[in-house]
Amino acid sequence: MKKILVVSFSLMLIGCTGINRQTKKVDCVGLINIQTTNKTESVKLIKYDPINKQFYSAGKPFLGMMGWFNVNRFDNVICTKF
């Protein structure tokens, strides 16, 4: 049981690291306008890859949105730390 927990935790940490070592930590929010519900949802963005111009999101329960995303995916991106 202990081995399973260690392996699971290790895989989770590996998924949170970028392949590119040039990534930098950011404090941003990506805004997405959902037309079917007529709402704007926000997704927390925690990393930025300047080479591929992509943001990383740890995910949001309602939208999913876990992984690396192009800037074009969001209607607006607001950053307090970039």
Domain presence at residue 14: no
pLDDT digits (tens, 9 = 90+) for 34-67: 888 899 989 999 999 999 899 999 887 777 778 9
Domain presence at residue 13: no
CA proximity to 64, closest of 38, 27, 30, 35: 30
Domain count, the chain: 1
Three-state DSSP class for 55?
strand
pLDDT at 32: 92
> Which range marks the domain in which residue 41 is found?
19-81
pLDDT at 69: 92
- What residues have CB less than 8 Å from 73, skipping those under 6 apart? 30, 32
Domain presence at residue 47: yes
Three-state DSSP class for 70?
strand
Domain presence at residue 11: no
